[in-house]
Amino acid sequence: MNEQQEEEQTTSALANDLEKFLRAFKDRDRRYKFFDRINHMMVDNSNSLVIDYIDLDTFNPGLAKRITHNPDEMLEAFNEAVLYILNEIHPDYAQEIRDKIKVRIGNYTVQKGLRDINAEMIDKLIGVSGMVVRSSEVKPLAKKIGYRCLNCNTINEAQLKGLILKKPLKCINCSEKELEMDPDNSIFTDFQLVRLQELPEDLPAGQLPHYIEVTVMGDLVDRCRPGDRIMLTGIVRIEQEQISPQVKTSLFRLRMEGNNIEYLGGIAGTKDTRTLERISISTENEKQILAIANKADAYDKLIASFAPHVYGHEVIKEAILLLIVGSITKKLDDGSTRRGDINILLVGDPGTAKSEMLKFAAKIAPRGLYTSGRGSTAAGLTAAVIRDKSGIMMLEAGAVVLGDQGLVCIDEFDKIKAEDRSALHEVMEQQTCSVAKGGIVATLNARTSILSAANPMYGKYDPFKNITENVNLPIPLLTRFDLIYVIRDTPEKEKDSRIAGHILEIHQDAEGAAQPAIDIDLFSKYLAFSKQIEPKLTTEAINIIRNYYMKMRNVDSEGMITVTPRQLEGLIRLSTARARSLLRDKVEAEDAERAIYLVQRMLETAGVDVNTGKVDLGVLHGKAHSEVSKLKMFIEIFNALSGQDKNEVEEKNFINELVRTGKFTQDEARTFIRKAMQNGQIYERKSGFYAKA
């Protein structure tokens, strides 16, 4: 009995000390910070109070130390202290939420990595940072259940141990065994399971990421979604492993009980204010960043610092740099958004360092993920619905959801199965990812830039075929890329000798060779810093882009479309990104010109119709204009020869007619007849005679 009294006394003594802290603590502006917060609990209709750990530490270091080692006792005392103060201010509200009051610890400084959570940490309060990879549905959890006796109406309480409830065997009053549950005398709280995984940037090379299951209750439920990077403060608990319902082992499993959730880099605020930046930029870094941007050769330096171990490819490096910096996502008044992320596709011969550039981009981007096409499925790229061992349906985030507000590099883009690749259509234009499986219908954010690399279908890129024939990718997907670059490996004596020199130098002197102009750590911080700037378009830039667009729309040859409004938006995104990368708040004429130069370079390689040698964006959209007009003429002549009665057309006559137009050679005419038969437009009735299908 003595021990129990002592314990009660310590809890109430603790509650008194904590009450003093809550009443007396003043912040820098001489305001009673926590007293005001308790005062506002009724107005906000909240039942939790966030206590700043650093404030407690400055006020009473002893209590702060105690909260780490005896969190259960301290949080219990904290809840009492809050209830006591609330009783004085709003007694009615205090009675209403007396069992629900929760004190949460914010700004907690005792931080551990997920790998450091071990048996010594059991029942201690720790802070871990990680990425939410899955979250379950919300279910009610019983904290106390009352059972009503059918004989004498007495309420019997069931005791909760961990997550297991023990139902009373008989009534305490009359020993009747018939008891039924009474919801009115029971207390339930919201409950959710969340899985937290190590952040990709904290992962040691070649290791599997560690994860821990976290249980969150009350108003922490639904605070974080898959893909969020959070700082979780919680108490480490253990659960006994079970082989079967009857047999329990002496092995236990660690899990965490969430106490507070904060977003990395930002305060634990609403879902709109969450910032997902992990990189902290000190004032010293900021000075260095501004110093780089103020130099005349800043832009060249940035490009030179990108993958310095890869020789050449300056245009592609520049494009990837602009992709990492990105443009601004504009929200319109009617609720729709204008995409600000840039998507780039690299198509090229093997051994042209495409994967190297992708890997480097994923490494230095503020949030970068790298995945390869062979092992990626639609669920792995977007989101999956899985059934947990407890039977709960859970949503598990895939690559583009985890890379939200960052960059996802997809290598071997052409090796992804067609049905899996179609999941990316929505991600690349609408920037969301919708799931409807197993009763879960959800739309997740996937505001990510996609940088992908693909190999040509027949090993090397065939310059005599258009890009759609070279790459095994559907046309609607190709049109969603702002820039498509073809990298060709052509032998040139001078260039080859320089590449060989560069590679051999790296092998000879690994430390000294290929030094970046800007240190890689600072370079990463520079890119993160530049993402905060929001440049506005100037009139000169608008005029340059408009003139280029009008000029390209108005090409002399008949009906040939060279650019579409999608390219116009791409130009705006690229020019904004360039202004951003130089930390300017206005998009100037030179930015617009550089964006046009990048698009022109794309059109020179990927946008040329090989039949005519002219730039024609129809190539990216399926059939080049030259082919479309030939097909039209082919069908018109066939119809004219077969007449109204749909007679048979002799092959010889037909070929002669086609050649007479001057648009076909004999071989081309035969090729077109073969294609038309394959497409089912015509069929051969008897040898040498064709009829319309």
Dihedral Cα 596, 597, 598, 603, nearest 10 deg = 90
Position 669 in a domain: yes
Position 537 in a domain: yes
Q: Are residues 326 and 398 in the same domain?
A: yes
Task: Give the integer Cα–Cα distance in Å for 578 and 584.
Answer: 9
Listed residues 106, 133, 168: the one ending a domain: 106
Say whether pLDDT at 207 is over 50.
Answer: yes
Question: What is the pLDDT at residue 609?
Answer: 59
Q: What is the DSSP letter of 257?
A: E
187 closest CA partner among 225, 160, 167: 160
Q: Are residues 325 and 348 in the same domain?
A: yes
Q: Are residues 70 and 151 in the same domain?
A: no
Mean pLDDT value of segment 184-212: 83
Position 270 in a domain: no
Give residue 100's domain range: 2-106
The pLDDT-based confidence of 267 (bands split at 50, 70, 90) is very low
Task: Give the integer Cα–Cα distance in Å for 628 and 640.
Answer: 18
Q: Are residues 507 and 419 in the same domain?
A: yes
Q: How many residues does the chain have?
A: 693
Say whether pLDDT at 268 is over 50.
Answer: no
Say whether pLDDT at 34 is over 70.
Answer: yes
Cβ proximity of 51 and 103 under 8 Å: yes
Say whether pLDDT at 5 is over 70.
Answer: no
Position 614 in a domain: no
Q: What residue type is assigned to position 283 of the chain?
A: T
Give the phi and the psi of residue 387 in degrees, each rounded to 5. -100, 125
Position 610 in a domain: no
The pLDDT-based confidence of 214 (bands split at 50, 70, 90) is very high
Question: What is the pLDDT at residue 236?
Answer: 92
Position 613 in a domain: no
Q: Are residues 465 and 550 in the same domain?
A: yes
Cβ proximity of 136 and 217 under 8 Å: no
Q: Are residues 102 and 118 in the same domain?
A: no
Say whether pLDDT at 279 is over 60.
Answer: no
Q: What is the token pair recorded at 233?
A: 């403060």
Question: What is the pLDDT at residue 42?
Answer: 83
Q: What residue type is assigned to position 664 of the chain?
A: F
Say whether pLDDT at 484 is over 80.
Answer: yes
Q: What is the token pair recorded at 546?
A: 């408009």
* CATH code of the domain covering residue 255: 2.40.50.140
Say whether pLDDT at 102 is over 80.
Answer: yes
Q: Which residues have a Cβ under 8 Å from the Cβ of 489 and sit 6 or more positions away?
A: 348, 349, 350, 351, 352, 460
Q: Are residues 303 and 249 in the same domain?
A: no
Question: What is the pLDDT at residue 271?
Answer: 41
Mean pLDDT value of segment 25-34: 83
Dihedral Cα 544, 342, 620, 460, nearest 10 deg = 120
Query: Percent of the chain beyond pLDDT 70?
Result: 83
The pLDDT-based confidence of 126 (bands split at 50, 70, 90) is very high
* CATH code of the domain covering residue 326: 3.40.50.300
How many CB atoms are located within 10 Å of the residue 181 CB?
Answer: 13
Q: Are residues 301 and 236 in the same domain?
A: no
Question: What is the pLDDT at residue 621?
Answer: 56
Listed residues 263, 293, 324: the one ending a domain: 263
Task: State the pTM of this model.
Answer: 0.68
Q: Are residues 587 and 639 in the same domain?
A: no
Q: Which residues have a Cβ under 8 Å from the Cβ of 126 and sit 6 or more positions away?
A: 68, 110, 111, 112, 117, 233, 234, 236
Cβ proximity of 149 and 156 under 8 Å: yes
Give the phi and the psi of residue 366 in degrees, each rounded to 5. -55, -35
Angle at 293 between CA 290 and CA 295, to 5 degrees: 115
Position 120 in a domain: yes
Angle at 115 between CA 112 and CA 119, to 5 degrees: 85
Of 18-22, 203-207, 639-643, the poorest mean pLDDT is in 639-643
Say whether pLDDT at 625 is over 70.
Answer: no
* CATH code of the domain covering residue 651: 1.10.10.10
Q: Are residues 315 and 446 in the same domain?
A: yes
In the chain, what's the furthest Cα-to-Cα distance?
114
Task: Give the integer Cα–Cα distance in Å for 41 and 60.
Answer: 24
Give the 3-state secondary structure of residue 593.
helix
How far from 29 is each of 26, 33, 53, CA to CA, in Å?
Answer: 8, 9, 18
Task: Give the integer Cα–Cα distance in Å for 197 and 213.
Answer: 9
Q: Which residues have a Cβ under 8 Å from the Cβ of 600 and sit 6 or more positions away?
A: none
Question: What is the pLDDT at residue 645?
Answer: 65
Say whether pLDDT at 682 is over 50.
Answer: yes
Give the phi and the psi of residue 580 in degrees, each rounded to 5. -65, -40
Q: Are residues 236 and 315 in the same domain?
A: no
Q: What is the token pair recorded at 310?
A: 């890869």
**b/e string for 124-152 if b means 16 or more Cβ within 10 A?**
bbbbbbbbbbbbbeeeebbeebbbbbeee
Q: What is the token pair recorded at 132?
A: 């939410």
Task: Give the integer Cα–Cα distance in Å for 499 and 308.
Answer: 12
Q: What residue type is assigned to position 27 of the chain?
A: D
Could you give the angle at which helices 625-642 and 666-678 cross, rounded to 10 degrees? 80
Alpha carbon 479 to chain centroid, angstroms: 22
Say whether pLDDT at 561 is over 60.
Answer: no
> Count of domains in the chain?
4
Q: Are residues 100 and 132 in the same domain?
A: no
Task: Give the integer Cα–Cα distance in Å for 578 and 327.
Answer: 9
Q: What residue type is assigned to position 436 of the chain?
A: A
**b/e string for 296-324 if b means 16 or more Cβ within 10 A?**
eebbebbbbbbbbebbebebbbbbbbbbb
580 closest CA partner among 542, 532, 540: 532
Q: What is the DSSP letter of 618?
A: G
Position 615 in a domain: no
Question: What is the pLDDT at residue 277?
Answer: 44
Mean of per-residue pLDDT scores for the chain: 79
Question: What is the pLDDT at residue 234?
Answer: 92
Per DSSP (E only), the strands in 137-228 are: 139-149, 155-161, 164-166, 179-197, 211-217
DSSP assignment of 374-442:
TT--HHHHSEEEEE-TTS-EEEEE-HHHHTTTSEEEEESGGGS-HHHHTTHHHHHHT-EEEEEETTEEE
Q: What is the token pair recorded at 670?
A: 């035969």
Cβ proximity of 163 and 217 under 8 Å: no
Question: What is the pLDDT at residue 303?
Answer: 83
Question: What is the pLDDT at residue 125?
Answer: 92
Give the phi and the psi of residue 199 in degrees, each rounded to 5. -70, 140
Of 614-618, 644-648, 656-660, the poorest mean pLDDT is in 614-618
* CATH code of the domain covering residue 73: 3.30.1640.10
Listed residues 65, 85, 106: the one ending a domain: 106
